[in-house]
Every structure is written in structure tokens, then in C-alpha cells.
A and B are shown apart, each in its own frame.
Chain A
């Protein structure tokens, strides 16, 4: 359980309203009063995830302590033998108090009541009181605390209120209402303390105090939406939800982010909506507290990226190819036709599935393929590997990245975490702020590298970190030789109490990534960290269910095998093979029949014989296994799209039509079968996954301040799979890095959080923030190619070519060009490859 009381925590006794409580020493008084006494001291500026500032004065209490003789230090007693309490003459702010032995507080006296009432009145002197049209209305801490502690009537003249900008765009996604802001600085502090992108500040003072940003780029972090949750009034709203619905019309459905390995817990706020044919529709995405996974934060991609679930491009009908055309069909006849095709393949059947397929989908798919006599189950995309090692030397059960701090160490190698798994980057960066040693190793500069090494004098924080810049593509060699080539760093990592290694695949082939992950595992094993709580290996596997793919038997190496030996019939589930990989068309042409189950009519669907529409995470029940092996379930939230059904159901019915046993009737039933047949899932049921527990800080219940925004976890905190197997430190053969011939250059694909993939592009409001396609070169390489920063360049590679902008700077190493994936509609290299770059002189249209 995530609690402030650990085995070794020292307890002290405090007295709240006449009753003694044991609380952990050093805790914050507001948090402790809530945790042990259920006493909700009202707050506005205080937030348990951030340092107290004592700005709003809402938390006033009477504070005292046991009286001691100034000379001797002896406790002074009353005549009746009780210790004398010395009270502060004036009210004190509770949020700035750290509990200590003999602390006495009173929260229910007349003086306290009056203090609270006065602060509320003061905050409302110029508040617009436009709750009827305010998005926060109904879940607003200011509203709630006014009801609880306010006077009920106003002595202020309405005409004297200040009139300020009510629709000030604070970046593309967030709007500020300057009349509503109560100057708590939570948004400022979130950007500063949690994100590390200090772009908000106050301007002016007194009555005219305002939130501003004057930075370039302004308020556009990948976490900006969280400020709208913690803003205690309706001053910050998202462009996505503002004026979209009233909170009390919304049904909160627990869900899981479909985007990346973090598995952020979310709550989908839905209502029956005209805009979606009267069906339940996602109106907004809110974080759901899971202290093990995402605490109370989510990335903007998770928050705003839900639009693809209702996009016009969603596949809503079954499409069956007849010659060069597709015609629609019904499920029953399709199950039969597909089953027939599969049986005729005589066992030459394989499947490739992507990371948005759920555990249930994957299990049923594996059953189908093996039932038909096939044995090849490929994971998409074949860029990342090592899930098997995460299963053995990952973070053990009970680990929590939020507990890393002083004495601990983190190594992030070959990954741009901000772009790949933003929630991990956020949590690891805050771990560094708590004192952990953070090392970022990459062939180029990344946001996390900047954070790991920023001058501590400037930010005023103790930053313990280091950066290792290596030659492009040499990550595996660097990891394997860390103890020799970076002795001091390696020692510090090995000596740390806890060590987490994040091993990405940037700049690496699949073989190279295998070598890197094995080397990282070796390091953890050799240093004795393997198997220790809060230590272990993480791999930013693409998609929400990369570990699920592993546990259900899908591997990227098999994908390579499938490509090398194409089967007669290939089943593709949620894998945009042709859009992702320009070389795939070569081997796919040797496959007789492709059966695709997906969300969109993408390139592979267009080449398929059968195209079956399946449901996204929003429309169905299911579960994902996140990068820390936590199995987490999500619930049906949104109304169905056309004829789409869950993939497990489609696959199960195909199997039934192929006489391979009866189709299961529910996702829960599939999980029962998984628990029976997949060792790692033993004991896991939907009921187990739905288990919740009290979490610290307690943001749920009926407190009136930060509990307003659907944070509380009622859908389950999931279950982490125990480590299995006994990985040994193994000798690693590092494959040679790619070499470019004369006139050629190595292209290193990277991941961008905001891209032009089918799933993300329907999120129109973020489209302007998707980078134009570019290729990033070191000045040395650029010079050889006669390219200058900003030039247009044509990039040629196996399977295609595309025109992009050239970016030239020494943020990337010599010898390779960084070439992000999925920024163009055309497929660009999925894995490192050798290509050419030529300057385009005529004013060319760049693609995007």
C-alpha cells in the first residue's frame, strides 16, 4: 500500500482537537490530519504533490506546543499534572507545518471558523461568480469551500469587480480566465517542480496579479493539461473540454491510457451526446490516482488523444476484397469465410499484433494461430525487444518509481523518454529532484538530458546527474563497456541503493537492442540490484501492451522470422505494418492472404482480403500489461462504432467457425482462461484487477479541495506480475554498428510523441504542434552533403523517399542522421538503415 507510514518510519504524537494521534515524523500537517484523523483542513494553494508556499491562508488553524522552560528545557505542567500548552497568539497556516512531537492544533474553534470565513470572503471580493457558465462548476474547490466555510452573503459591490480577460490562451491547449484565478500558484509550481519547465509566472502584484507566460515556446509541455486539474477554480480550462459539458452530467468510467508503456490510469468522462448519435461519448479524459503508475498526472497525449475513437476514418464495416474492390459483409458469414481461408492454409498461418491489442485479444489470437497448426506470433513493431528480460529482472512487485530518491540511481540509455513514455520521464525527473542520481546516455541531446544536467545554480535545485553522449548507434557497446569507459558513473550506479535502468532502442537494430538490454540486465545482476524492490529494468516497448505481447507469446524476433519466411495466411491485429515500415511490402507480396483486424483503413488493410473492424479501448472491456508488468483493466465507456466488435470476440468466433472450440462470451471469461493457461497470469481475475486501496496522498473521499476532479481510483489499481525465471549475466556480442558507404548516411529513426499516425492525427487541436517532417544532421555531415539548416532535402531509403526539412546542429552526433518516424504520410524507415540525403534546390513542397 502506498502510505506515509513505512516499517522504519519514526512516529510522533500530535493532538488534533483534543485527541492524540500517531503520525510519521516530518509529515505535512494538512496531509497527516487528513490521513489519520479524517480532518479536512481546507486548502487552496497547498497541494500534497508540491512544496507548501502558504500563499492563500485558507488553512488557518490554532497551533500550539508543549511548553518548556526556556532555561532548562523541562516540560512545564499545570496544577493537575497535564502539560502546559503554549498557543500561538494568532492563527497559523497548517500547510506550512511539519508535524513534530507534542504539536497541538485546534481546527474547530470560533477563531478558526472566523479565519476561514474571512479568507473566503477575501478571495471572493472580486471573483466573477460565474459558476453557472464555469466548467469547474460542480467540482470546484472554491465553490465547495465557499459552501463549507463561507459566509453565504457578500458585502462587496458587484459593480466594483475587476474585469479582466476571460479567454486568454496560455498556449494552444489551455485557456486562462483571469477573473477567476485566485493566485494560488499551483500551476506555476506544477510547471516548475513537477515538469521542470518553468514557463509560468506571476505578473504585477496585489489586485492586479496575473498568470503570464513570456517564454518561447510558451506553455506547451506534454503535461500542460494537469494544471487544469489542480487549479482550484475554473481559471484554467482545456481547449478540448471547455463549455463541452457540465461535470454532473458526466459518468466517470475507469480506463487505461492506450498510448504507451506507462499505462496511465485514467477516467473517461462520458455522457449521452447529440454529437455522437445519442450514444455515450468521451467528453474528456481525466487522471485517476494510481500512486504506483501515474500518481495523479497524465500526459497531454493521453488527455487529448481520445478523438481517434470517434474519427470519421474509423473502420466501421467489415470489408471483404473482391478483385480490386471491397464490399461489406456480415459477421456470421465473415467468420465462416475467414475460418475457411485459414483452414485451407494447412498450418501456414502466422499473426502479427501491435501494442494496442489487449491481453484478451492476444490470448485469443494466439489460441487461434496455434489451433490452426501455426506457431509464429510476431510483435509489432520489431524495433524494441527485451520484454523477456523485463519479465525476469524488471522492477519486482511492490516497486514504485515514486519512491526513488536520495541514494538511488537511474540510467536512461538510448531513449528519448519525454517523447516515448512521458510519464516515466516525469516520474524519473521528480525522482532526481528528490535526490536520485540520473544519468542520461544517448547519441543526441534530449529533454531529459537537459534536465539531468541543468546548472543547479540557475534553478536553485540540487541536481545530481550526468550525460553520456556516444557515437550514433553505439548504445549497446557503451552499456556493455560502461564499467571501463565510464568508470565513475558506472561505480555510482552500481553502488546506489536502488538502480533503475531504462533501455530504449533509439539508433539500434533489433539485434543491437537485444545486446543493449542484455548488457543492462547484466549490469543489474552484477551490481546485485536484480530482483530488489525499486530496482530493475524498464524498456519503453511501443504501445500500451508491449509486455502483454510478450506474455501471450508474441515476439519481435518472430516478426523478423515471419518477414523472412512469409506464411500463406497472415493475420494482422492493430499493426500498421505498411504505414510503419517501407520495406514490408517486399515480403508481404509473398503472403497469399492477409486478414486485418484494425481501427482504420490503413495501407495494410487496403492490401488485405478481409478487413475486420475492431473496437478501441474506449468501447469495450479489456486489460493491458504495462511496462512495469502491471496488469490493469479498463471498462466500456463509449458507445460502439458501426459494426466494430472487440478483437478477442472476432478472433474467438473465427476459431469457433474453424471448429477450434466455443467462442468466449466476455472479456472476463477470456481472462479466466488466461489465468489458467499463462503462468504469469495465475490468480489474476477481473475482480483482482478491480481491487482498490487507500493511497497516500489521499485525494479521494469527500474532502473539499483536491478531490473534486474524479481523481479517486474506483476502478482498480491493477496487479503487478511477479518476476519469473532467473536471468544470468550473459556474455553479449554487440553487433557491428551500421556503416554508410560513400555518399550514403545512416538514418536513425526516432519516436515523436505527437506524430501523424492514424491514431493521433484525428486530435485536431494538437495538430499544429506536430512537428513538420525533418532530418537532423550534425554540421559535419551536413557540410559533406552541402546542406544548411532549413534547406529542403530528399531522403532516399530502402522502399521509398520523402522530402523534408534539414535541421543542422551539433545536438546530434556525427555519422548519422536522426530521422523521426511517422511525421509524414509516407512510410519512413522503422529501423536504422543506410540511405542518402540530397539537397532539393527548387522550392519544394515538404510532406506532412
Chain B
């Protein structure tokens, strides 16, 4: 799909534009939409955001590059950001992070062969009390352990399989 002409986003885009005097000012929220759509800020997303905001794609790329919350590397469908900061680590988050990578057979920052999961560690997400926790495509999953995680992973894999079969 795409960002432009995608019903899913048209309301949101309108909303963001309505907040600013110039279209160009909406570039950052729109980049989030592109990131949501493609899983990362790819060239298509940059082009579309540039078109929407009436900006030169070079500048959109420049903005995406400056802020670390935009990812310019290809990601799996589920981008799992595990907090391994001190409070979480005290509750076993770093073990959890290691086990998760082992289970998915990926390196830090890597993506599984089926393009479903990308794992990386991040700093405090302000959910220390519910550690181990992670952020999946910017949505929190809390109070995790490997059992729960495995079940969730397999569920997603089954979903993919079903899609492929169909």
C-alpha cells in the first residue's frame, strides 16, 4: 500500500495539516505515518511525505535522518524494542533480551528471515514497573517472560502462514 490515497491515514493526515499554517510543518507526524505504513522510513515514504508537505524530498530525508525515532533501515513487520536500562535489567530484562534474540535466531538489530521480527534494545521507556517490557511498533507489551513471548511469536507466525496459504 501507500500513504497517499490510503483511507487508513487520510483522516489523520487531514488532522495534522489542520494544526499548522503551512503544510511543511506537518512533516514530522507524517513521517511517523510513513514509518507505520512501511515499518521504516523508506524512499517511497519519503517521496510521499515530500509530495504531501510540498517539500523537496532531500529535506524530508534530512529530517528523517536527524531524529533517531525515525528508522531508516528496513525492519520486520514487528519492531521489538526491548528496554534493557537499569531498572528493567534488575528485573531480568537483559536476560529476556538475550533469550528473545536466541529464540528468534537474530543478532542485535537484526530481522528474522521471514521478515516478521526485528529486535533491538533501547533505553528507558518509562515503564520500569512492568519490566521486562518492550515496545512493539510503538505499542507497549509489559510484564513479559519468554513463555508469553514465545506464544505471541508463534501466533504471529501462524497468522503469516495463514496469509501465505490464502
Contact of B62 among A201, A216, A455, A458 (CB under 8 A): A201
Q: For chain A, what secondary structure do more than half of its interface residues adopt (helix, strand, loop), or is it mixed?
A: loop
- Given A204-B65, A204-B66, A205-B65, the answer on whether A199 and B24 have CB atoms closer than 8 Å is no
Q: Is B58 an interface residue (CB 8 A)?
A: yes
- Given A204-B65, A204-B66, A214-B46, the answer on whether A198 and B58 have CB atoms closer than 8 Å is yes
- Given A205-B65, A205-B66, the answer on whether A458 and B46 have CB atoms closer than 8 Å is no
Closest Cβ of chain A to B114, distance in Å, is 30
The reply to whether B24 and A458 contact each other, CB–CB distance below 8 Å, is: yes
The reply to whether A214 and B60 contact each other, CB–CB distance below 8 Å, is: yes
Closest Cβ of chain B to A196, distance in Å, is 12
* A-contacting residues, B21-75, CB 8 Å: 21-22, 24, 43, 46, 54-62, 65-66
Contact of A201 among B21, B22, B58 (CB under 8 A): B58
Q: Is A587 an interface residue (CB 8 A)?
A: no
Return chain A residues, CB-CB under 8 Å to B59: 198, 201
Closest to A208 in B: B65
The reply to whether B61 and A201 contact each other, CB–CB distance below 8 Å, is: yes
**How far is A204 from B54 in the complex, measured between Cα atoms in Å?**
22
**How far is A458 from B54 in the complex, measured between Cα atoms in Å?**
8
Closest Cβ of chain B to A498, distance in Å, is 33
* B-contacting residues, A194-234, CB 8 Å: 198-205, 212-216
Closest to A457 in B: B22
Return chain B residues, CB-CB under 8 Å to A203: 61-62, 65-66
Closest Cβ of chain B to A195, distance in Å, is 13
Closest to A202 in B: B62
**How far is A448 from B4 in the complex, measured between Cα atoms in Å?**
30
The reply to whether A214 and B57 contact each other, CB–CB distance below 8 Å, is: yes
Closest Cβ of chain B to A168, distance in Å, is 14
Closest to B22 in A: A457
Return chain A residues, CB-CB under 8 Å to B54: 455, 458
**How far is A180 from B85 in the complex, measured between Cα atoms in Å?**
36
A contact residues, range: 10 to 19
**How far is A203 from B62 in the complex, measured between Cα atoms in Å?**
5
Return chain A residues, CB-CB under 8 Å to B43: 214
Number of interface residues of B (CB under 8 A): 16
Closest Cβ of chain A to B117, distance in Å, is 26
**How far is A199 from B55 in the complex, measured between Cα atoms in Å?**
10
The reply to whether B56 and A199 contact each other, CB–CB distance below 8 Å, is: yes
**How far is A730 from B24 in the complex, measured between Cα atoms in Å?**
50
Return chain A residues, CB-CB under 8 Å to B46: 214
Name which of B24, B54, B58, B59 has the most chain A CB atoms within 10 A of its CB.
Answer: B58
Return chain B residues, CB-CB under 8 Å to A205: 65-66
Return chain B residues, CB-CB under 8 Å to A213: 58
**How far is A201 from B64 in the complex, measured between Cα atoms in Å?**
12
**How far is A455 from B23 in the complex, measured between Cα atoms in Å?**
12
Closest to B57 in A: A214
Closest Cβ of chain B to A58, distance in Å, is 23
The reply to whether B57 and A216 contact each other, CB–CB distance below 8 Å, is: yes
Return chain B residues, CB-CB under 8 Å to A198: 56, 58-59
Q: Mark A427-469, 1 if CB is under 8 A from B, else 0.
A: 0000000000000000000000000000101100000000000
Name which of A200, A201, A205, A214 has the most chain B CB atoms within 10 A of its CB.
Answer: A214
**How far is A205 from B72 in the complex, measured between Cα atoms in Å?**
14
**How far is A340 from B66 in the complex, measured between Cα atoms in Å?**
76
Closest to A455 in B: B54
Closest to B24 in A: A458
Name which of A201, A215, A457 has the most chain B CB atoms within 10 A of its CB.
Answer: A201
Return chain A residues, CB-CB under 8 Å to B65: 202-205, 212
Closest Cβ of chain A to B28, distance in Å, is 15
Closest to B59 in A: A201
Return chain A residues, CB-CB under 8 Å to B24: 458
- Given A203-B65, A205-B65, the answer on whether A214 and B58 have CB atoms closer than 8 Å is yes
**How far is A198 from B81 in the complex, measured between Cα atoms in Å?**
36
**How far is A458 from B22 in the complex, measured between Cα atoms in Å?**
7
Contact of A215 among B21, B22, B58, B66 (CB under 8 A): B58
The reply to whether B66 and A199 contact each other, CB–CB distance below 8 Å, is: no
Q: Mark A233-276, 1 if CB is under 8 A from B, else 0.
A: 00000000000000000000000000000000000000000000
Contact of B57 among A200, A202, A204, A215 (CB under 8 A): A215
**How far is A457 from B65 in the complex, measured between Cα atoms in Å?**
24
Closest to B61 in A: A214
Return chain B residues, CB-CB under 8 Å to A457: 21-22
Closest to A205 in B: B66
**How far is A455 from B22 in the complex, measured between Cα atoms in Å?**
11
**How far is A215 from B61 in the complex, measured between Cα atoms in Å?**
10
**How far is A203 from B58 in the complex, measured between Cα atoms in Å?**
9
**How far is A202 from B66 in the complex, measured between Cα atoms in Å?**
8
- Given A199-B56, A204-B66, A205-B66, the answer on whether A212 and B22 have CB atoms closer than 8 Å is no
Closest Cβ of chain A to B164, distance in Å, is 34
**How far is A205 from B70 in the complex, measured between Cα atoms in Å?**
13
Closest Cβ of chain B to A744, distance in Å, is 39
Return chain A residues, CB-CB under 8 Å to B56: 198-199, 215
The reply to whether A212 and B57 contact each other, CB–CB distance below 8 Å, is: no
The reply to whether B58 and A212 contact each other, CB–CB distance below 8 Å, is: yes
- Given A205-B65, A205-B66, A214-B46, the answer on whether A200 and B58 have CB atoms closer than 8 Å is yes
**How far is A458 from B24 in the complex, measured between Cα atoms in Å?**
7
* A-contacting residues, B8-27, CB 8 Å: 21-22, 24
Return chain B residues, CB-CB under 8 Å to A212: 58, 61-62, 65
**How far is A202 from B63 in the complex, measured between Cα atoms in Å?**
9
Return chain B residues, CB-CB under 8 Å to A215: 56-58
Return chain A residues, CB-CB under 8 Å to B60: 214
**How far is A538 from B24 in the complex, measured between Cα atoms in Å?**
38
**How far is A458 from B62 in the complex, measured between Cα atoms in Å?**
16
Closest to A218 in B: B58
**How far is A214 from B55 in the complex, measured between Cα atoms in Å?**
11
Q: Mark A398-417, 1 if CB is under 8 A from B, else 0.
A: 00000000000000000000
**How far is A203 from B63 in the complex, measured between Cα atoms in Å?**
7
**How far is A205 from B68 in the complex, measured between Cα atoms in Å?**
9
Return chain B residues, CB-CB under 8 Å to A455: 54
* B-contacting residues, A453-498, CB 8 Å: 455, 457-458
Return chain B residues, CB-CB under 8 Å to A202: 62, 65-66
Closest to A198 in B: B56
Closest Cβ of chain B to A437, distance in Å, is 24
Closest Cβ of chain B to A455, distance in Å, is 8
Closest Cβ of chain A to B45, distance in Å, is 12
Besides A198-B58, A203-B66, 8 new A-B residue pairs in contact (Cβ under 8 A), listed by A number: A202-B66, A203-B62, A204-B66, A212-B65, A214-B58, A214-B60, A215-B58, A458-B22
The 8 A-B residue pairs whose C-beta atoms are closest, nearest first, are A203-B65, A201-B62, A214-B61, A214-B58, A214-B57, A204-B65, A201-B58, A215-B58
26 contacts between A and B (CB under 8 A): A198-B58, A198-B59, A199-B58, A200-B58, A201-B58, A201-B59, A201-B61, A202-B62, A202-B66, A203-B61, A203-B62, A203-B65, A205-B66, A212-B62, A212-B65, A213-B58, A214-B57, A214-B58, A214-B61, A215-B56, A216-B57, A455-B54, A457-B21, A457-B22, A458-B24, A458-B54
Q: Chain B: residues with CB nearer than 8 A to chain A?
A: 21-22, 24, 43, 46, 54-62, 65-66
